[in-house]
Structure 1
Amino acid sequence: MSKYGTDESSYKEPYSTFDKVNTDDITSKIIGDFGRWQFWISFIMTLLKLPIAWYQLNIIFLAPPQHFWCAKPAIFAKYSDEEWRKICSPNIEEHPCLIYDPDLLYVSTAMDRSLIPLVACPMFVFNKTTFSRTITSDWDLVCSKHWLTHLTQCVMMWGIVIGGIIFGVLADKYGRKTPLMISVLIQGVASYVASFMPDYWSFLAVWFILALGSGGVGIISFVICMEVVSGKYRTTVPVLYQLPFGLGNAIMAGLAYWLRDWRKLEFTLATLSSLFIFYWFWIPESPRWLLATGQIEKAMVVLKEAAQQNGKCYTMRQLKQLMPKVKSQKRREPGFLAFFRSRNMRLKTFLLSINWFFTGLAFYTFSQYLGSIGGDIFVAVSWTGIISTLGAITCVFIVTKMGRKTTVGIYQLITAICFIMLLVVPKDSFANNWPRLLFAGIGFAGMAGSIPALYLFSGELFPTLGRNVGISGVTTFARIASMIAPAVVSLDNIIITDFPLILLAFTSFAQILLLLPLPETKDKPIPDTLEQAELF
């Protein structure tokens, strides 16, 4: 009988006898739950959240809202820019995508406008008071090409999804370190190249490659944080791992305020991201992965060094005595679809996938809503980062005391209530709309608290062999939701007033119901194999 409660011999996949050994017990016994070694690895992994934040959200500064108007033809040189704009504009739309035919206007500016056809503006002038250069102004991504700004973010999210899947599979098969460093390299190099691209489509191709690297960095760094710690620190460290995401927002906003040019901003972010290549010399392979795959000799080398940094001395002979006797054999790593082949894991994976979809929909839709509240885009983004940091900090205390599932539910309930309050409190009823701003801030903090708890909860429900694939698989649905978020925002006042908030309130309450069938993972051993996860 297994420690998980039933006989594992009935499963057909050829896992070695080492699968029945809890790698938590081995690593904790040798190096302890948390020490200097775990602190160092965890700390440098959390710093990787900075570039993840930069590239997921820098579309805010690459293509910010920017006023523009039709360029004045040479034949209207005697008119001022303001006079030209009044003459050519039909005043039927916010931006001058269509203007009165300038050739006919030149004949007589007083001509009856009903007799003058509208034509597409051939060239635009952009207000560069706030930003000297954006991808919008560089490539005229307005009017009929405005959808390309949304495509840019969709490509980023699809790249992160695909990158997470590809590098998740590679990390489960070949170890955590090498795929992580390849991801870091791709991310930095692609960011440099993107800052020099001369046209939109070549930029978009490089942007997708950058997203692949960013997806790999995100999924592998999180898994490493989970695998290097044990005991109660397996709760706090993966949650604290999310903190720099908000800090990354604030840093990016500061850089954007200083540079005001998307190419300079992208080049600067590339330079900072490239510094993480030095991690090759600072991080070892995950000892838990080495143990789970039966690579005992390599695991002992890593554990010996880790133990020394934690003030524990072992000889290789002593370490060997602590290791179980195991015959190394070829292993089959489960893919994401493998989690749908058994009843228990199929239910878990399905519920987590839907929960992540609703989480992504709320986060990215509400991020746009929160950004529209403040007049200063730099302040708005910085404020968002600060709020998310506070949400993650409070999450640490709650998830330690209340458990994973309960914590996710609490924060999702807070978010849902804030959406309801935003529907109840009318606009412009208070000075500066302060109650709506307050509820919006608390709602965002609720999402910022639920996301790290949901990451932790998801990671503990999937086994070590397949954790990268499992997490990247369920979080893929959050990326898909992020792609439709702009469409949801655009439905405001089209279907019914405040339709996006009504939808988000409904989905937030639905998320709580989706949590109920899932087991609590607090103080439970992490499953190493698919069999153990099925029996959990």
Structure 2
Amino acid sequence: MKFENILAEADGFGRYQIMLFMLMVLPRLTLPGHFLLNNFIAATPSHHCNISSLDSHGVFQSLSQEEKLTVSIPKQKDGTFTSCHMFSQPHFYLLTNSSNATELPIVPCQSGWAYDSSMFKSTLVSQFDLVCNTKGLTKASATVFFIGVMFGAVFFGVLCDKYGRKTILLVSYISVIVFSVISAVSTSFVMFAVFRFLTGFSLSGISIVAIVLTIEWVDIEHRTVIGVCSSVIWTVGNSLLAGVAYLITDWRILIITVSSPLVISVATWWMIPESARWLIVNGRTGDAYKYLQKCAQVNRRSDFSSTIRPQTLCEIVTGEKQKHNYNYIDLIRTPRLRKITICTGIVWYGVASTYYGISLNITGFGLDLYLTHFIYAIIELPAKFIIYFSLKKFGRRVNQVGAQVLTGVCIIINIITPTAQYLRSLQIQHQLLHARAFKHSKRSSVHMTRENYKRVYLQNGVGYASFVGRLGASVSPLVMLLEDVWLRLPQVVFGVIAILSGLVALLLPETNNARLPETIEDIEQTRYG
């Protein structure tokens, strides 16, 4: 007897599964809060040189703030004050004649910077002066976080198989809380970066275990529903982040607030069941039987104990163990599997790189940061519901290629569209379209990967794809540094990556309405086109 048959006797989708799913809502809400937190904690407020060093004798007392800046800081071509330079001495004649200002000697900021606090009380930038020559560190902070997520995925993936889902989930909860608080009270950027890395590292435990534990308690028929609902929770958490950040404009308090739901998760951890499948694989059939009995009791399956005996679980231990004998090297062992693995990696890299490249640099609606972030987040909802039906009607490959290429095309179109006001609505439509298209491609890639590795190397295949995706997420913030070469260059890079990785998806087999692989031989045969 297979585990799925035993789970069916206890009801694979009842009140017990709904309770477990609800217990995972809060930890999953924290994920987008942390993954996209850099939009707010690393935002760069308007700033200019601190000109107090030029007022050594109180000569500025009779001047307004605007006049002080006029005599102390050069202006750019658009009439705004420069952010990184100041005059070597005040030039009061500029109050009446600024025609020769470009010829005056300038020096880098001598006494730090003054920041506009109208939108943010405090950010990483204003706290540690991450501007001018050190402005690249704001992007590096996001990269450090995602590198932590990337390595954490490997680490916690191994640990949750060795020590169980429930134990590792608690370790992840506590680690995220502790590292988040320490990063929030950091006294230097280096200290912040180290503990932000550890926060991302620990969040991987929640990201992996929360979905795995839920899926392992749900029957096959309803796993897609659970996947969609989990995806919706991400959207809700991402949308809530905009509101929370609007209310809390101090970066230290914001980090702690985003992590605070995990305190409730720790308090309710004891209610979470261990994975019965994991217990069986590790020979703990007695514990597995107790959890299955509890599941049947909550789901009102009174006949479970008479149908399934503890001895029944012993019969499936060997079969379950045999499914876990593969490793990552096996993903490239045969020609067709090697092709699928390489193409899947490219697609996931393109999807993740484009997603975080867009999501961590949200501009262009002509709205403030909070509202723009909310729009980008909430637009995921219709895309996720549309793709649920689109995948069935048009197939996985068509959706993947079409959505990803459309994302890249819209990004490129936005680059070449003039910035004239009368074309503003056209730009916004393109941005909304590529945002919707991207959410579509993201969900398609998940379905294709799971089905291409169905039952054969599934865990290793999804783990590999996730690792490559997180690598793309790590690199995407650094791509934004290309703005110094040409303002539009990062968008060109993301657009090209989206198009090329989308075209690579053409090389992947279509899995819709196809017999999915049960063995390596199935994968090697041209059974699906």
Q: Common fold, TM-score beyond 0.5?
A: yes
Query: Which amino acid letter does the alignment assign opposite residue 325 of structure 1?
Result: E
Aligned pair partner of 1:96 in 79, 83, 89: 83
Find the counterpart in structure 2 of residue 447 from structure 1.
438
- For residues 97 and 286 of structure 1, do their structure 2 counterparts lie closer, same or farther at Cα, with a shift above 3 Å needed? same
Which deviations, in whole Å up to 9, do the C-alpha atoms of 1:451-488 show, x marking residues without a partner? 23423443444477975554343222222223333454
Aligned pair partner of 1:130 in 116, 119, 130: 119
- SS for the counterpart of 2:114 is strand
- SS for the counterpart of 2:24 is helix
8 Å contact kept, 1:247–1:386: yes
Query: Which amino acid letter does the alignment assign opposite residue 439 of structure 1?
Result: H
Cα deviation for residue 62 of structure 1 reads 0.4
- SS for the counterpart of 1:69 is strand
Find the counterpart in structure 1 of residue 50 from structure 2.
71
Q: 1: CA distance between counterparts of 2:225 and 2:507?
A: 23
- Is 2:388 the partner of 1:393? no
- Is 2:73 the partner of 1:83? no
Unaligned runs of 5+ in 1: 1-20
- Is 2:160 the partner of 1:160? no
- SS for the counterpart of 1:48 is helix
Cα deviation for residue 520 of structure 1 reads 1.4
8 Å contact kept, 1:240–1:393: no
* RMSD between aligned residues: 3.6
8 Å contact kept, 1:42–1:225: yes
8 Å contact kept, 2:450–2:458: yes
Find the counterpart in structure 2 of residue 118 from structure 1.
107
Q: 2: CA distance between counterparts of 1:530 and 1:396?
A: 29
Cα deviation for residue 490 of structure 1 reads 5.1
8 Å contact kept, 2:71–2:92: no
Q: 2: CA distance between counterparts of 1:285 and 1:260?
A: 39
Query: Which amino acid letter does the alignment assign opposite residue 498 of structure 2?
Result: T
Find the counterpart in structure 2 of residue 231 from structure 1.
220
Query: Which amino acid letter does the alignment assign opposite residue 65 of structure 2?
Result: D
8 Å contact kept, 2:403–2:438: yes
8 Å contact kept, 1:179–1:216: yes
Cα deviation for residue 253 of structure 1 reads 1.3
Q: Please, which moves more after superposition, 454-463 or 50-59?
A: 454-463
8 Å contact kept, 2:246–2:370: yes
Find the counterpart in structure 1 of residue 20 from structure 2.
41
Which deviations, in whole Å up to 9, do the C-alpha atoms of 1:419-473 show, x marking residues without a partner? 4653575432636x12221221122122223323423443444477975554343
- Is 2:390 the partner of 1:366? no
Cα deviation for residue 220 of structure 1 reads 2.0
Equivalent pairs, count:
512
Find the counterpart in structure 2 of residue 24 from structure 1.
4
Aligned pair partner of 2:315 in 309, 325, 328: 325
Unaligned runs of 5+ in 2: none
Q: 2: CA distance between counterparts of 1:461 and 1:319?
A: 35
Q: 2: CA distance between counterparts of 1:42 and 1:70?
A: 51
Q: Please, which moves more after superposition, 266-275 or 120-129?
A: 266-275
Q: 2: CA distance between counterparts of 1:297 and 1:406?
A: 47
Q: Please, which moves more after superposition, 172-181 or 84-93?
A: 84-93
- SS for the counterpart of 1:118 is strand
- SS for the counterpart of 1:325 is helix
Find the counterpart in structure 2 of residue 8 from structure 1.
none
In the TM superposition, 1:137-176 aligns within 5 A as: 137-176=126-165
8 Å contact kept, 1:41–1:225: yes
Query: Which amino acid letter does the alignment assign opposite residue 428 of structure 1?
Result: A
- For residues 320 and 26 of structure 1, do their structure 2 counterparts lie closer, same or farther at Cα, with a shift above 3 Å needed? same
Find the counterpart in structure 2 of residue 282 from structure 1.
271
Cα deviation for residue 501 of structure 1 reads 4.3
Q: Please, which moves more after superposition, 272-281 or 402-411?
A: 402-411
Q: 2: CA distance between counterparts of 1:269 and 1:368?
A: 17
Aligned pair partner of 1:483 in 469, 474, 481: 474
8 Å contact kept, 1:69–1:125: yes
- For residues 511 and 292 of structure 1, do their structure 2 counterparts lie closer, same or farther at Cα, with a shift above 3 Å needed? farther
TM-score, length-normalised on structure 2? 0.84
- For residues 376 and 337 of structure 1, do their structure 2 counterparts lie closer, same or farther at Cα, with a shift above 3 Å needed? same
- For residues 107 and 327 of structure 1, do their structure 2 counterparts lie closer, same or farther at Cα, with a shift above 3 Å needed? closer
Q: Please, which moves more after superposition, 183-192 or 475-484?
A: 475-484
- Is 2:320 the partner of 1:341? no
TM-score, length-normalised on structure 1? 0.83
Query: Which amino acid letter does the alignment assign opposite residue 84 of structure 2?
Result: C
- For residues 153 and 328 of structure 1, do their structure 2 counterparts lie closer, same or farther at Cα, with a shift above 3 Å needed? same
Q: 1: CA distance between counterparts of 2:265 and 2:26?
A: 9
